[in-house]
Amino acid sequence: MTALTVYLKRNRFWGTVLIFAIASTVYWNLLAARRYVSEAHVVVDQVQTTVAPVLEVPSLVPTTSAPRDVLLLRDYILSADMLAKLDAKLGLREHYTGSYDPFSRLLYKGISFEWFLRHYRNRVSVEYDEHAGVLVIQAQAYTPAMAHGIAHMMVEEGERFINGLAQAIAREQIGFAMKEVADAAKRLAQARQALIAFQTKHGLVSPTGTIGEISAVIARLEGERSDLSARRGALEAYLMPTASDLVQINEQIQAIDRELHTQRARLAATGGKALNRVADEYDRLSIEAGFQQAVYQTAITALERARLDATRLQRKVSVLQTPTLPQYSMEPGRLYNTAVFVLGALFIAGILHLLLAVIREHRD
């Protein structure tokens, strides 16, 4: 019997620690299942296109920044949706339950999806490098081919997700702008139709222009009446009221007065189709048509702007490093884990040993 055996029998506490250290060493170096790691590096870039300048109007949908797109991609890769697609195509649940290592495998095939998702997130790493702006994707599996397949599908589905998200926003933005254009065009057509119907009803292309023409006629008639009144005053100085010249001038003045009364009645009257009322209604309809024309032009400009914004929203997932096909199992870190477990056991054992020694001294 060696001195070590005798010592361990007398100090069962340290013997237990030694057994634990030997067991952890055996497990990490001989029994722990090999896990291969496939790694890919991706970035999300904005699609650069050359577009014609248009009138600047407020954007309907705010553009997103690159870091936000990368973080969205990261969240999607770690999501339950991604796990469901991976499991359906690659048989991930069966693969993770196929290992002989009970400490690293998924316990059994029928385990709940929540525990399956937690295990998946422990075997997948998606980290964002803020300095380089690169998303580093790592996938662990028990075979090199499965690790490569997982990483490849995550990159592929992530690219489809980013493109689909940008296209959905673009479709919504352009669809809203096109609806506004259609509504504005409909209102403009209605306003123009109302204006044309009004002109047809009253037989006037422009009541305002007609009022101007009538006003010019009234002004001319008033001028002629003033001239005739001046001539009549001059003739009354030396002619009898029954003189033919004086009678003729009086008849001309009366005819002008009747015409003035008629023309003034056309311009303004208490009822009927007075031109002032017609012109007021025409101006209202004309202003409405002009307003709808301006709204329609603004909607057209907004639609063009929406198309430009939709172009700017397009994103492209660029793969800087394609998923690697691992040749050596990087996980678990055997030497590192062995050292951590042994040193941790010794550290805890030392603390417990010290506490027990303190307790024994107090009892003595």
From CA 322, how far away is CA 152, in angstroms rounded?
Answer: 8
The whole-number pLDDT of residue 54 equals: 44
The whole-number pLDDT of residue 274 equals: 60
The whole-number pLDDT of residue 52 equals: 45
**Beta strand pairing call for 134-141 and 36-46:** antiparallel
Output the CA–CA distances (angstroms, integers) from residue 164 to 7, 126, 161, 169, in the order listed: 69, 21, 5, 9
The whole-number pLDDT of residue 59 equals: 43
Helix crossing, 207-236 with 275-313: angle to 10°? Answer: 150
From CA 229, how far away is CA 235, in angstroms rounded?
Answer: 10
Averaged in consecutive runs of 10 residues, what is the pLDDT profile of the chain (364 residues)? 53 71 77 87 70 44 58 90 92 87 82 91 89 89 92 90 75 79 85 78 64 72 78 73 76 78 62 62 79 85 76 72 86 79 80 76 68
Print burial letters for 294-332: b (CB count within 10 Å at least 16), e (below 16): ebbeebbbbbbbbbbbbbbbbbebebeeebbebeebebb
From CA 7, how far away is CA 40, in angstroms rounded?
Answer: 53
Q: What is the dihedral of CA 233, 237, 239, 241, to 10 degrees?
A: 60
Print burial letters for 146-165: b (CB count within 10 Å at least 16), e (below 16): bbbbbbbbbbebbbebbeeb
Chain-centroid distance of CA 64 in Å reads 7
The whole-number pLDDT of residue 203 equals: 64
Please, which residues have CB within 8 angstroms of residue 73's CB and are 6 or more apart in sequence? Answer: 42, 44, 135, 158, 161, 162, 317
Q: Which of 119, 117, 135, 116 is nearest to 127 (CA)?
A: 135
The whole-number pLDDT of residue 216 equals: 74
